[in-house]
Amino acid sequence: MNENTRYDAANIQVLKDLEAVRRRPSMYIGDTDKRGLHHLIFEVVDNAVDEAQEGYCDKIEVIIGKDNTVTVTDNGRGIPVDIHPDQKKPGVEVIMTMLHAGSKFDHKIYKISGGLHGVGVSVVNAISEYLEVEITRDNTVYHQRYERGKVVSNLKIINKDKSLQTGTKVTFLPDPEIFPEIQYSFDIITEKLRELAFLNKGLTVKLFDERTEKTRTFLYNGGIVEFIEFLDKDKGTIHKPIYFCAQKEDSACEIALQYTDFYTENIFTFANNINTKEGGTHLAGFKAGITRAVNDYGRKSGLLKDISLTGDDAREGITSIVAVKIREPQFEGQTKTKLGNSEVRGMVESLVYNKLGQYFEENPSTADKIIKKIMVAASSRVAAAKARELTRQKAVLGTSPLPGKLADCEERNPENREIYIVEGDSAGGSAKQGRDRKFQAILPLRGKILNVEKAREDKILSNEEIKNIISALGIRSTLRYHKIIIMTDADVDGAHIRTLLLTFFYRYAKDIVENSHLYIAQPPLYRVKQKRKVMYVYSDEELNTLTEKLEKDGIEIQRYKGLGEMNPDELYNTTMDIEKRTIKLVTLEDIVEADKTFTMLMGDKVEPRRQFIEQNAKYVENLDI
């Protein structure tokens, strides 16, 4: 074996002791809520992926236990178990109990690695009630147990067999003393594991949730090209995915892209397998390279002449994956998911500009289709700019500062203000009369808003209802309310209006969703009256439970189909009173699935929508026709 690739305890470098992790866990994992809880899983998984990137692992399995344990198994080389030359402990014990101890700092072993930006699995150990590790190396299985970061059993041999495969199995239970709620999201875990499988072609990643018996298996031999095909499955595409890659010293970059007939861009960026949702230098380089390549080819081909395309024009309808792998990633931003390495921008921009330009030259018919689509986008941009300027001028002149239908509230601080977007004038009238005027505003909608999934920005901005929403909420300026609550009828039309509004917020005001400002009201489905007692019921299950408890004599049940059926007091007491109401926060846990769902439900293709309805019709309990 080459000395540079030898993997034993001598490769493990200790940077500093594991102290204060339990006292200040948020410093190491971001928070002790949902994000931090899931980070524990991903730290252990990323260690296994590092083995896969080096070519030693091709299978990873994650099991969510009924008892809230998490087990991650891989078939890599197995964590070293020999005695560390400086620490005089087994290598695995050093890794599990000492902060910043691991082979990621030795670039002979891991040239590129992910993980929690160098924090290490020791943090997972420190804030777990217990952690157990099983390592298979040299036909031997080793076991060690830790509790709240402390060793409670020495490393011992539990099995020997020449037929055993190498690998590592880690099982841990997050500490309830650290985490107020231990509730894993299947969707969040699924998104991460699916991404890892796409980014590491040939790697099989399995997920099994014992709580629900849900299972997922991911294997993509086509890598990020398959990722693009997955994202664009239900979209009209202009060409087959374009793929190019480059490697320079200890850095690598691969990019896949495809233009669709949609109007929004869909770009996912990754650095060392970490989803950099806030973008960074690799995204900036990609955008610059695309804009240069499109403009250069457009001029050379004579299609553009005197027109200069902007970056927004060049990216309309594009789906792209930008994945870089670098030795020392520098992360910044609020959630540490923004890449800051300055040298990456130039590398990505050069790759995109040269390779895409070459593709255009070699595929002129496809290039012409792309350029012509982008030229239409440029025309739309000019029209949209005029619409925005007209709106701005009206606001400056005071002729149209806020929609006439808006009933604003007295509170001035946006953090303490909330607005209900209400379906119809009738319900809007009840809401205006019943609300708490101090902090609750009401914006009634007249019918269904435009489906933004099928429209360009100029058409969207000319829609009266959408203009009212943008103006009332302060979208693209200063948000005027920090609670935006969609309140629609409990029927098919209400569900459709709610979906149209969710599509608008997802496509054109995603930051409102990401910053936890968007909610859905939960009006009652039934009014149950027995003698003089009136009760409001919010689900069929609740109705069944209630009617079983009550005597069947003299019970009157009214099903509400519209908000307008309730008088102002009823609407306030059941749906708007902050002491009694239930509102659902709209969250974005799986961006890929969210994008595909909006495309399927609101896009042009009928067949995927028909299949969805057929598959889910059995779950419908109340259907109004």
Catalytic residues, by residue number, are 423, 489, 491, 493
SS3 259: strand
Q: Answer positive or negative: Cα dihedral of 402, 406, 407, 413.
A: negative
CA–CA dist 501, 423 (Å, integer): 11
**Token pair for 373:** 């689509």
Pairing of strands 204-209, 167-174: unpaired
Helix (H) or strand (E) holding 493: helix 492-508
Q: What stretches of 398-491 show up as alpha helix (H) in DSSP? A: 425-434, 457-461, 464-473
CA–CA dist 575, 294 (Å, integer): 52
Q: Which residues does residue 536 pair with via DSSP β-bridges, in sequence order?
A: 527
Q: Hunting for tokens 């990020």 — which residue is that?
A: 224
CA–CA dist 83, 92 (Å, integer): 9
CB 423, CB 486: distance < 8 Å? no
Contacts 24+ apart (CB under 8 A), 129-132: 129/173, 129/174, 129/175, 129/176, 129/177, 130/172, 130/173, 131/96, 131/170, 131/171, 131/172, 131/173, 132/170, 132/171, 132/172
Q: Which residues does residue 9 pair with via DSSP β-bridges, in sequence order?
A: none
Q: Which residues does residue 407 pair with via DSSP β-bridges, in sequence order?
A: 442
CA–CA dist 102, 51 (Å, integer): 13
Q: Under 8 Å CB-to-CB from 519, ≥6 apart: which residues?
A: 483, 484, 485, 486, 583, 584, 585, 586
CB 311, CB 379: distance < 8 Å? no
Q: Which residues does residue 216 pair with via DSSP β-bridges, in sequence order?
A: 207
Residue 529 φ/ψ, nearest 5 degrees = -125, 130
